[in-house]
Structure 1
Amino acid sequence: MESFRGRFTNKIDAKGRVSVPAKFRAVTMAQGLNGVICFPPLNPGAFIEGCGPAFSDIVDQMLDRLDPFSPERQSLAAVLIGESAELTFDADGRVILPETLRNLAGIKDEATFVGMGQRFQIWEPKAYEEYYAKALEEAQKHRELLRAPGAVTPGASGSGMGGAR
């Protein structure tokens, strides 16, 4: 399955229109949507979350596991569904970013799209640069968390028996 990858910065016009990167458009169109879905973030940070219908379905599935009347589900649904916007591409591959989401992220004249695999984020460019500097530092601390599929941890027995015989 295609995924959202890369970083792209595009200008926003006076009407709030911004060109969605062609690579990102291809992902959502392959998933059957001529647009993107955007919503506020749950993680700290001033950015907009974005995705296609595949990740939106995952969010719905996660919410469906919760009691439909629980306060936790209601607060999560209010943010992830109630404040989401399905934005349709125009003939030039642009969408109109809702003013409420732009204000939340501090986005004015330019938007930086950052691929995150199944989803993407939209940042004010300078805010993303600041975030990225910290993220790079943190990622270097956590590189041991990444393992190739099937990789064996050094010193571990390949027998699956913990070395016991």
Structure 2
Amino acid sequence: MFFLTGEYSHQLDAKNRIRVPFKLKKELGDNYYFAKGTDGCIFIFPEEIAKEQFAKIEEVKMSDAEKRRGIRAFTKSFVLAEEDNQGRVVLPANLREFAKIKKDVVFCGVGNRAELWAKEVYDEYFADDDSNYNEYFDSLGI
């Protein structure tokens, strides 16, 4: 079971490299994947969770054109993170563009995955967050 939590601010360096925060990296393990996510973020999946996602896809009927398109959209963005000797990963251009990442980023843990956001997008998305906690807890049943 994975338990990715927390919020971490970082920056891309001049070569578009990023270092995953230690606490997240510890949970993600040695092999993890970047993929286009929802709401303008990049998902970061531990290998085990990535395999579970692909197993779900294998159960989809290939005769459904809309689902085929969704599968292609999801899977074509998956990239194995390849760290250099200093633990940095080059963030591919297509993912940077998708997430509108220029320099400042925020990592956040979301249970079985992490997310990577452009700081500006993250701040806008969560602008009213503090006033909504009661609603969030109710909707989550906690």
- The answer to whether the superposition gives a TM-score over 0.5 is yes
> Max radius of gyration: which structure?
1
Match of 2:73 in 1: 79
Contact kept? 1:35, 1:89, Cα under 8 Å: no
CA distance in 2, matches of 1:136, 1:35: 34
Q: Which runs of 5+ in 1 are unaligned?
A: 149-165
Match of 2:22 in 1: 22
Q: Which has the higher contact order (CA 8 A, sep 6+)?
A: 2
Normalising by structure 1, report the TM-score.
0.76
2:104 to 87, 107, 110: 110
Residue 102 of structure 1 deviates from its aligned partner by 0.4
Match of 1:39 in 2: 35
Normalising by structure 2, report the TM-score.
0.87
Q: How big is the alpha-carbon RMSD for the aligned residues of Structure 1 and Structure 2?
A: 1.9
CA distance in 1, matches of 2:133, 2:51: 28
Residue 139 of structure 1 deviates from its aligned partner by 4.4
* 3-state SS, counterpart of residue 125 of structure 2: helix
Q: % of aligned pairs identical?
A: 23
Contact kept? 2:31, 2:47, Cα under 8 Å: no
Segment drifting more, 130-139 vs 98-107: 130-139
Segment drifting more, 47-56 vs 134-143: 134-143
Contact kept? 1:25, 1:93, Cα under 8 Å: no
Q: Deviations over 1:50-109 (max 9, x none)?
A: 111122122112212211342233222212211211112222221110011101111011
